[in-house]
Amino acid sequence: MESEDHSMVDAPNGVTQPQLSGNAEDAFGIQPSKEDTDMVAEEFEPEEGWEELNSVKRRGLLPTGVCYDDRMKLHANADFGHAPHHPEDPRRVEEIMKTFKKAGLVFTGPDTELLDILRNTPIKYMWRIVAREATKQEICTVHTAGHYDWVQDLSNMSTKDLRNLSHTLDQGRASLYVGAMSYEAALLSAGGAIETCKAVASGQLKNAFAIIRPPGHHAEYDSPMGFCLFNNVPIAAKVCQLEYPDTCRKILILDWDVHHGNGVQNMFYQDPNVLYISLHVYQNGEFYPGKPDNPMLPDGDLDKVGEGLGKGKNVNIAWPDQGMGDGEYLAAFQKIVMPIAHEFNPDLVIISAGFDAADGDELGGCFVTPPCYAHMTHMLMSLANGRVAVCLEGGYNLKAISQSALAVARTLMGEPPPQMGMPPLSKEAARVLARVQAVQAPYWECMRPGIIDIQEYGDGATRLHDVIRGYQRQILSQKHGMVPLFIQREALFKSFENQVLVTPGIQTKRKVLFIIHDPPELQAMPDVTDNTVDPHNAFTLDGVMNYVDWANKNDFGVIDANVPHYITHPEDIDPFTPRADEKTLQDQIRELVCYIWDNYLQLYDVEDLFLLGVGNAYLGVKVLLTNRNCKNRIAGVVNFVTGNLRPVKSETDPDLSSWYKRNSLVFVANDHACWSDEELAKKVSKKRFGRVKRSNQVGLNRMMEEHAAEVHEWIGERLSQDGSGNTTEEDGK
């Protein structure tokens, strides 16, 4: 076998120390002796009594390791005729090693210089870790003997049989190919991972990178899967735990491959001493590896947290879709990965380093850049005394994996990660992180601030928006004698109890103000240490109240309809509930305003009916105007808008938009997006949006306060003095 990078040392068994060499061509393996490190350390010795500081220094002077063996390229597809360009290409490992050499991370000079390098600049280059074949005993720490035998048998099969087997295995979830040398390559890959992790766990090396293939993280305890034969990282983790029971008890496996490492998860699902954190695309179970055939087995969803003693030791950061990038990965590290990892406090960190989330990898479809990989590595190096072992998993764009791996290796060697800004985080990803936090909160102290278990409170918990509405009802009842208006509904929920309040004797009023508004704004100053909110540090701002007072003073009948952002259901168990979506909101509002129109307003003898829409709920104004032929009975419309601008138009009534333009006053917040460019601002001036005015204020309450006098005056001018004039014919002010 002619291969330049094949180390010719006899493979040591699993118990002996790994051999380290300064370069690829070195066939003897040189260990960094105690003398070597002492010599260097002495030069920096400041004074006596600094032993502690000195020992820290010495760890920093340990070299970074790299494990590579050309023979791992020999795992190739026997079914070469059918799929000549399989993404799990043997060149993947070679490209990474070449890139390391080109970048000067691995020594390529003559052997004669080696001794000088070892003495003078031992950490200038990566130290070579010799890959060896893993033993059956090591592999069977996580795999069944039956699975080991199955892989071993591959080396005894005929080419024809291998080709047929590859063809079969390539289908569906198994997604695998095999060849005559697959068994040997898989043994080396697992053995390389073992030696790499052991060299780091034992403290011989500062940290290390294993450039290995075939990858491992999809391989199950009893079967191969997803380009993976033996699950390298779990094997290495188990061997380290067995060989260094005192110093390597707790291990963090951080998997940033774009696919979920189902095999790793399942092998440690009940293990309290191995924390598995995976960042991967989930796509509701559609993205590989998807859901297992057995529905009882856990998949990569974020609610899969481990079982028994292992509860909380499995963290799935499951992205809703492809397209994630630096912003999402850095946020996941800052908000979830690092807080949990620090609380776990591992003795060793192993990175299952697939680079298929890298920018440029078509299979992954994500956009993680090399600087981001450097930062993630750097953060992980703050754990476990810096004992970080990186093991290659997937990643199929040769350029992307080489550059990403290079960024990781440089960081391991001590180069500071490149400066980068914090890119924006997508809303969907932010929601996923919040859900992961909520799901993990029972198991991790650091995930708890801000998470409430409302089930624990039972009937004692009332959502604040219902409390506030109850309070508003009391105030409006005391001040103006207002009472709830009966609304017939199919189901009665708490949020409906006080939803619509009216002044007494409204049916006899000549003037009526119908207010459709959002719940009042809530502001709170949470305690910065634990996120709790004291009632005395929380405030409600209710700009509507002044308008109700004004209307009552001026002898208007008032209908006050509160549109909650969410309808409280008794079976709610989620402490955080997003606002109702547009469709739900529209259905709710239509039901409400049409009921009020059909059963009350339409029947009243009102001369001057005004609509006041506040916030998101101003959708109700549009819904009423477009669903009921009522414009001739409405004297004017006033809206305060901070969110979506709603067009009012009708196919059956072509005059509706121009009527709306003439008879409305629509205040739009000063910071609204529609003012951001000329095109949009021009669009807003169209009839269907009404008479839009840019407020000089932001926020509903400040806007309502600012324009109160103007609105009062405008309404006053539109009132029919003698009850005979048709105000709707007048043009606006």
Size of the site for Zn ion (CB under 5 A): 5
Task: Tell the smallest beta-carbon distance from residue 187 to Zn ion (Å).
Answer: 22
Q: Which stretch binds Zn ion (CB under 5 A): 62-70, 328-336, 391-399, 661-669?
A: 391-399
**Residue numbers annotated as active site:** 218
Residue from the set 300, 354, 370, 520 that interacts with Zn ion by CB under 5 A = 354
Closer to Zn ion by Cβ: residue 356 or 542 = 356
Query: What is the rounded distance in angstroms from the CA atom of residue 177 to the CA atom of residue 358?
Result: 24
Task: Tell the smallest beta-carbon distance from residue 357 to Zn ion (Å).
Answer: 8
From residue 29, give the alpha-carbon distance in Å to each of 17, 20, 136, 199: 11, 5, 25, 14
Q: Which residues have CB under 8 Å from 259's CB, separation 6+? A: 217, 218, 226, 280, 281, 287, 288, 289, 354, 356, 394
Closer to Zn ion by Cβ: residue 405 or 656 = 405
Query: What is the rounded distance in angstroms from the CA atom of residue 630 to the CA atom of residue 625?
Result: 6
Task: Tell the smallest beta-carbon distance from residue 421 to Zn ion (Å).
Answer: 28
Select the residue whose beta carbon is closest to Zn ion and give its number.
394
Enclosing H/E stretch for 521? strand 521-524
Q: Which residues have CB under 8 Å from 30's CB, separation 6+? A: 19, 20, 21, 22, 114, 118
Task: Tell the smallest beta-carbon distance from residue 436 to Zn ion (Å).
Answer: 20
Is 69 one of the binding residues for Zn ion (CB under 5 A)?
Answer: no
Question: For 91-180, where are the E strands, in sequence order?
Answer: 127-129
Q: How do 20-21 and 127-129 pair as beta strands?
A: antiparallel
Enclosing H/E stretch for 634? strand 634-641
Is 257 one of the binding residues for Zn ion (CB under 5 A)?
Answer: yes
From residue 416, give the alpha-carbon distance in Å to each of 62, 123, 408, 412: 17, 15, 11, 9
Query: What is the rounded distance in angstroms from the CA atom of residue 608 to the CA atom of residue 350?
Result: 73
Q: Which stretch binds Zn ion (CB under 5 A): 118-126, 135-143, 353-361, 653-661?
A: 353-361
Q: Which of residues 367-386 bind Zn ion (CB under 5 A)?
A: none
Task: Tell the smallest beta-carbon distance from residue 489 to Zn ion (Å).
Answer: 51
Closer to Zn ion by Cβ: residue 358 or 614 = 358
Task: Tell the smallest beta-carbon distance from residue 259 to Zn ion (Å).
Answer: 4
Task: Tell the smallest beta-carbon distance from residue 543 to Zn ion (Å).
Answer: 53
Residue from the set 259, 313, 387, 465 that interacts with Zn ion by CB under 5 A = 259
Closer to Zn ion by Cβ: residue 301 or 343 = 301
Closer to Zn ion by Cβ: residue 396 or 496 = 396
Closer to Zn ion by Cβ: residue 390 or 648 = 390
Task: Tell the smallest beta-carbon distance from residue 216 to Zn ion (Å).
Answer: 11
Is 494 one of the binding residues for Zn ion (CB under 5 A)?
Answer: no
* Burial letters 357-394, b for 16+ CB under 10 A, else e: bbbbbebbebbbbbbbbbbbbbbbbebbbbbbbbbbbb
Query: What is the rounded distance in angstroms from the CA atom of residue 13 to the CA atom of residue 130?
Result: 12
| Structure tokens given for 661 | 């333009």
Q: Which stretch binds Zn ion (CB under 5 A): 33-41, 273-281, 317-325, 390-398?
A: 390-398
Q: Which stretch binds Zn ion (CB under 5 A): 128-136, 272-280, 350-358, 456-464?
A: 350-358
Closer to Zn ion by Cβ: residue 354 or 699 = 354
Q: Which stretch binds Zn ion (CB under 5 A): 166-174, 352-360, 560-568, 636-644?
A: 352-360
Residue from the set 179, 394, 519, 520 that interacts with Zn ion by CB under 5 A = 394
Q: Which of residues 11-40 bind Zn ion (CB under 5 A)?
A: none
Task: Tell the smallest beta-carbon distance from residue 516 to Zn ion (Å).
Answer: 51
Q: Which residues have CB under 8 Å from 132's CB, separation 6+? A: 11, 12, 188, 191, 192, 195
Q: Which stretch binds Zn ion (CB under 5 A): 103-111, 388-396, 422-430, 646-654?
A: 388-396
Q: Which of residues 185-204 bind Zn ion (CB under 5 A)?
A: none
CB distance 311 to 270 below 8 Å: no
From residue 138, give the alpha-carbon distance in Å to each of 2, 190, 199, 245, 360: 28, 9, 16, 16, 36
Number of neighbouring beta carbons within 10 Å of residue 732: 14
Is 519 one of the binding residues for Zn ion (CB under 5 A)?
Answer: no
Is 361 one of the binding residues for Zn ion (CB under 5 A)?
Answer: no
Q: Which stretch binds Zn ion (CB under 5 A): 156-164, 177-185, 392-400, 652-660?
A: 392-400
Backbone angles phi, psi at 622, to 5 degrees: -60, -45
Is 88 one of the binding residues for Zn ion (CB under 5 A)?
Answer: no
| Structure tokens given for 512 | 């009526």
At 304, which amino acid appears? K
* Burial letters 623-653, b for 16+ CB under 10 A, else e: bbbbeeeebebbbbbbbbbbbebbebbbeee
Closer to Zn ion by Cβ: residue 65 or 394 = 394
Is 220 one of the binding residues for Zn ion (CB under 5 A)?
Answer: no
Q: Which of residues 305-324 bind Zn ion (CB under 5 A)?
A: none
Closer to Zn ion by Cβ: residue 394 or 519 = 394
If phi > 0 it is left, if psi is from -120 to 50 it is alpha, else beta; for residue 283 that is left
CB distance 489 to 587 below 8 Å: no
Closer to Zn ion by Cβ: residue 353 or 559 = 353
Residue from the set 356, 359, 560, 608 that interacts with Zn ion by CB under 5 A = 356
If phi > 0 it is left, if psi is from -120 to 50 it is alpha, else beta; for residue 639 that is beta
Q: Which spans of this chain sit near Zn ion (rule: CB under 5 A)?
A: 257, 259, 354, 356, 394
